[in-house]
Structure 1
Amino acid sequence: MIVRLYSKPRCGLCDEAKAVLERVRARLPFDLVEEDIRADPTLLATYRYDIPVVIVGGRVAFKHHLVEDEVERFLRRELAGTPVADS
């Protein structure tokens, strides 16, 4: 599964989102692809005021502030319904 993070440099929320995704990725198998929205005029026009944006399966899954438990539950469902492990 590919999880795409639309972000840009010097964005505190983007840094936090990436950290959340990395922590979840330590427990779940997925590829994380980070893209700078400034590199694509369409992405910039679409998400300029909404970053960070997390795309899963071609759809927007999360915007702005990510909550680790919510992200993990969502990704587990996307990975064929694997139950969430107790922490």
Structure 2
Amino acid sequence: MAAAAPGPWTPTAPLTLIGKPGCHLCDTVRTVVLALAEEFGVGVEEVSIRDHPDLAAAYGEMIPVTLLDGAVHDYWRIDADRLRAALVRRL
């Protein structure tokens, strides 16, 4: 009997960065996400599309992707002021 395929990935933190190793844009976005997460005291989860086929299918050409509460906030680049405003509204 074959093992069951893993289910779709679901976020476990308020902020999520979806990327992959060696992605220079991901490195830039990570810096902003981590700084704002610290400023607002929220958790961050980083996920590689290489580990999750469903994320690779959904976002493979869009990384890095930033999620806020499980919804896409930005992709490719990040606007720190926009993310900060979204985090303020979330309070």
Aligned partner of residue 50 in structure 1, secondary structure? coil
Larger-Rg structure:
2
For structure 1, the residue ranges without an aligned partner over 5 or more in a row are 80-87
One of 16, 19, 29 as aligned partner of 1:17 = 29
Q: Deviations over 1:60-79 (max 9, x none)?
A: 11111112111111111122
Question: Contact (CA 8 Å) 2:20, 2:26: kept in 1 or not?
Answer: yes
Instruction: Provide the alpha-carbon RMSD of the alignment.
Output: 1.2
In structure 1, what residue type is equivalent to 2:84?
A: E
Detail structure 1 runs of 4+ shifted over 2 Å in the superposition: none
Give the 3-state SS of the residue equivalent to 1:20 in structure 2: helix
| Percent sequence identity over aligned pairs | 30
Matched, 1:51 2:91: no
Post-superposition shift, 1:26?
A: 2.6
1:67 to 53, 66, 79: 79
SS at match of 1:27: helix
User: TM-score scaled to structure 2, two decimals?
Assistant: 0.80
Q: TM-score, normalised by structure 1?
A: 0.83
Which whole-Å CA distance do the structure 1 matches of 2:88 and 2:76 have between them? 20
What are the Cα deviations for residues 12-53 of structure 1, in whole angstroms up to 9, with x where unaligned?
A: 111111100111123111100000011011111111100011
Moved more, 43-52 or 21-30: 21-30
Partner Cα distance (2:73, 2:58) in 1: 15
What is the count of residue pairs matched by the alignment?
Answer: 79
